[in-house]
Amino acid sequence: MPIRFRLAAQAVAVVLAIVAIALIPSTIELFAMMQLTLFAAMAVLALSLAFIWGFGGILSFGQTAFFGLGGYAYAIAAVNFQDSTPSILLAIVVPSVFAAILGYFIFFGRISDVYLGVITLTVTLILFNCVNSTSGDEYRIGKALLGGFNGMPAVPTFNVPFYPDQVLSPEQSWWVTGGALLGVFLLLRLLLSLPAGRIVVAVRENEVRASLLGYDPRKVKLLTFILSGAIAGLAGALYVNWGAFVGPTIFSLSLSAEIIIWITVGGLGTLLGPVVGCVLIEYIVAYIGSQQAMNSNLVLGAVLIVFVLLLPKGLVPTARDLLMRLVPAPGPKAQLAEERVPPSAAASHMAGAE
């Protein structure tokens, strides 16, 4: 009986999310919708780290490496092919391959937490330095000029698959981005409910016990890492599609920090939390940017410290706990419904507030 309730609640939540994504272009202004598109692309990035950190227990300080690789792979391919269909695929494949190589190195070398942090951080810096120094005509891949510090402007945005002439309108771009966010969310949710996802969590909980049960933690972690890299790469393509631009700052450490802040604020170990945290923090950053009264670093830093010290569980788990305490009797269902509030519902609240 509870399982049926749970499934029903989840189905309702998914339908609500789809309706919200479908209706947003006709209900809010173009500018707000463009902003939501950016937030959705960033939320996909947030999900990639939420999965690997929250469920795989691997804190990567360099998630932007995959994000940036995805963005650059998309941009270079799109300039060369003038068609986004293979480019999006490449934006997923290139970071996955990179993650596979890097992950092999890290996990099969049995490198521990701190060192993993250092390595991912350094790799991001290497990429940043390399791409940053590629200004000049000699640095080109096919028709694509890398542009070094200035980045690559005027990257072709998404088109209808296999029809390079039919470029997506901003509304269609929103549907694609919002749909991708929902898709990735559901995919991860599904994966986590399958045995494969449970093995990932088991390895996080106790590596030795998992390996004694016959699973190879190295392999599990490597696959987690690759999947997370692929999702981050997709986020990179979505991000480039939003701005039609990619520059080396996509690899920046401050963005890496921001992803970690989203997850800390939203709640580690949930999928909804990071999405909420991402939209919330990005909204605050955009708001501060338009005000010029305060420095966004100052606010972000203060927020991160406050959350680590006072609210280490993050917003979503804390809210869930409060809800459980307030409504004791129908607790499990309320908790699940709360957990399953679709990401775009939070987004539409934001939109309504504007």
Of the candidates 338, 267, 354, 257, the one whose C-alpha atom is nearest the C-alpha of residue 10 is 338
Residue 312 C-beta: closest distance to another protein, Å? 7
Q: Residue 247: name the closest of 62, 79, 43, 68 by CA.
A: 68
Judged by CB, which is closer to another protein: 174, or 262? 262
Q: How far is the CB of 117 from another protein (least distance, A)?
A: 7
CA–CA separation, 128 and 122 (whole Å) = 10
Q: Please, which residue, 66 or 185, has the CB nearer to another protein? A: 66
The answer to whether 296 and 249 have CB atoms below 8 angstroms apart is no
| Token pair of 313 as six digits | 């569980």
Q: How far apart are CA 175 and CA 188, in angstroms?
A: 20
Q: How far is the CB of 214 from another protein (least distance, A)?
A: 26
Nearer to another protein, 72 or 174 (CB): 72
Residues contributing to the site for another protein (CB under 8 A) = 59, 105, 109-115, 117-119, 121-123, 125-126, 129-130, 132-133, 253-254, 257, 260-261, 264, 294-305, 308-309, 312
Nearer to another protein, 26 or 112 (CB): 112
Pure H helices in the chain: 2-27, 30-49, 63-81, 84-108, 113-132, 170-193, 195-205, 207-212, 217-243, 253-266, 272-291, 296-310, 315-326, 331-339, 343-353
Q: Which bin fits 245, alpha (ψ -120 to 50), beta or left (φ > 0)? A: beta
Smallest gap from residue 349 Cβ to another protein (A) = 26
Separation in Å, CA 214 to CA 61, 104, 217, 220: 30, 20, 9, 11
Q: In the complex with another protein, which residue's Cβ is closer, 65 or 275?
A: 65
Nearer to another protein, 232 or 265 (CB): 265
Residues 240 and 71: beta-carbon distance below 8 Å: yes
- Hunting for tokens 């690997």 — which residue is that? 52
Closest distance to another protein from the beta carbon of 2 (Å): 34
Closest separation between CB of residue 165 and another protein, Å?
40
In three-state secondary structure terms, 259 is helix
Shortest spacing between CB 206 and another protein, in angstroms: 17
Of 105 and 163, CB closest to another protein: 105
Distance CA 48, CA 224 (A): 10
Of the two residues 128 and 174, which places its CB atom closer to another protein in the complex? 128
Q: How far is the CB of 188 from another protein (least distance, A)?
A: 22
Residue 320 CA to residue 343 CA, distance in Å, equals 16
